[in-house]
A and B are shown apart, each in its own frame.
Chain A
């Protein structure tokens, strides 16, 4: 049975989710932190609120900025006791990005992550890794090549399009 107070809480959570959607990933300004899939739970208790967040990469410097942004946004909304808690299990995966988010990334010039499914563990053991074809976000060509699996940020790899001769970032499947 849904009680009055839990209905209120659900409504509060919904509006807080909207508020959190205004916080952008500092390294991917077209994607907000809700779309990124890292907001796992919001627990409101009076003027206190706890936001559970699953970090993307262990060493991602954006996480600290995101944490500050969450605290700032919620304090501006009237909360006096804001806590960001990191939840590590289950680990974040790029599969949590929606199709809409992937489209936004592509339009921004970043090739979105392919599905993590099917990556398989054996490719590491045999080292006969089948490289996925990453389509160019600019011209859509499949004639692209990986230049480096490590790019400008932990989440991106550097690729090059042989058709339109553009280097581009690939948001690694993770």
Chain B
């Protein structure tokens, strides 16, 4: 059923779909950890809702990844039966949820990336990928309003909220470089018209992030050292703990359906 309308190799497309799916699966799981712990009821609901969107998007990307791979793996088997080293998500999304300011700042940095990435991915030569991206793009428009408005409230709020938001940005900044560090997969798929140009997305990301951070009376961290490795399976120590929790039910009851 998968129609790949480009000459891009299936392995590259599979790899790329894993990246898209894993970012959203892992971040969605982190956000779901707020369920029942949100600072106010509306936030509890909002974070659970956004989490649901992200996990829904992950299901679509991983489902398509499984079809592309053609080895009979579906979204569930890719989500629950891969080890940490096989995950292709950004390290940014696997960091523990932290306090509310950390969650909002992380969400905002990822949302801006996701918005611009999906905006372009809608025009991918891989038509199925483009269709899924169009749906996700519309959802991310809601997510980014939520995270950008909250970042401004926190930054321009009390001394406590301002300091926590700034601390979050300072801790997260070194994990943002990875979003734009393209490799051979990006190059191959870029040439085939399947994947967008990361440099262009970085320019747009930087402009939007700077604008909101400034409005929030916060500062862009001066840190220039950037972490790397998530895309090739090198992760922080946090991913393994998260996966063991996320995968335990499926692994304890292989073949169970729910």
Within 8 Å CB of B45, what residues of A?
148, 150-152, 158
A59 near B135 (CB under 8 angstroms)?
no
Interface residues in A159-174 (C-beta closer than 8 Å to B): 172, 174
Check A154 for interface membership: any CB of B closer than 8 A: yes
A154 near B49 (CB under 8 angstroms)?
yes
Interface size class of A (residues with CB under 8 A): 20 to 34
B139 near A148 (CB under 8 angstroms)?
no
Interface string of B26-51 (1 = CB under 8 A from A): 00000000000000001101101110
Mark B residues whose CB is within 8 Å of A.
Answer: 42-43, 45-46, 48-50, 52-57, 59-60, 115, 119, 127-128, 130-132, 134-136, 138-139, 141-142, 144-146, 148-149, 152, 208, 211-212, 215
Check A91 for interface membership: any CB of B closer than 8 A: yes
- Can you pick out 6 interface pairs between chain A and chain B where the beta carbons lie within 8 Å of each other? A58-B53, A89-B131, A127-B149, A148-B43, A149-B46, A150-B48
Within 8 Å CB of B134, what residues of A?
88-91
Within 8 Å CB of A158, what residues of B?
42, 45
Check A55 for interface membership: any CB of B closer than 8 A: yes
Check A129 for interface membership: any CB of B closer than 8 A: yes
Q: Which of A61, A92, A126, A127 has the most CB atoms of chain B within a 10 A radius of its CB?
A: A127
**How far, in whole Å, are A151 and B43 apart by their CA atoms in the complex?**
10
Contact check: which of B53, B131, B146 meets A59 at CB < 8 Å?
Answer: B53
With A58-B136, A127-B211 known as contacts, the answer to whether A89 contacts B127 (CB < 8 A) is yes
Interface residues in A3-34 (C-beta closer than 8 Å to B): none
Q: Which of A55, A147, A150, A152 has the most CB atoms of chain B within a 10 A radius of its CB?
A: A150
Within 8 Å CB of A150, what residues of B?
42, 45-46, 48-50, 142, 146
Within 8 Å CB of B42, what residues of A?
147-148, 150, 158
B138 near A174 (CB under 8 angstroms)?
yes
Within 8 Å CB of B57, what residues of A?
58-59
**Sample of 11 more A-B contacts, CB < 8 Å, known A58-B136, A59-B54:** A55-B135, A58-B56, A87-B131, A88-B132, A90-B134, A91-B131, A124-B141, A125-B211, A148-B43, A148-B45, A158-B45
A125 near B132 (CB under 8 angstroms)?
no
Within 8 Å CB of A89, what residues of B?
127, 130-131, 134
Contact check: which of A88, A147, A151, A172 meets B135 at CB < 8 Å?
Answer: A88
Within 8 Å CB of A93, what residues of B?
138
**How far, in whole Å, are A125 and B206 apart by their CA atoms in the complex?**
12
Task: Give A128 Cβ to nearest chain B Cβ, in Å.
Answer: 10
Within 8 Å CB of A57, what residues of B?
53, 56, 135, 139
Within 8 Å CB of B56, what residues of A?
57-60
Within 8 Å CB of B46, what residues of A?
148-150
Task: Give B138 Cβ to nearest chain A Cβ, in Å.
Answer: 6
**How far, in whole Å, are A93 and B139 apart by their CA atoms in the complex?**
11
Within 8 Å CB of B146, what residues of A?
149-150
Within 8 Å CB of A148, what residues of B?
42-43, 45-46
Interface residues in A71-98 (C-beta closer than 8 Å to B): 87-93
Task: Give B154 Cβ to nearest chain A Cβ, in Å.
Answer: 14
**How far, in whole Å, are A55 and B134 apart by their CA atoms in the complex?**
12
Interface residues in A119-161 (C-beta closer than 8 Å to B): 121, 124-127, 129, 147-152, 154, 158
Within 8 Å CB of A88, what residues of B?
60, 128, 131-132, 134-135
Interface string of A41-77 (1 = CB under 8 A from B): 0000000000000010111110000000000000000
B54 near A149 (CB under 8 angstroms)?
no
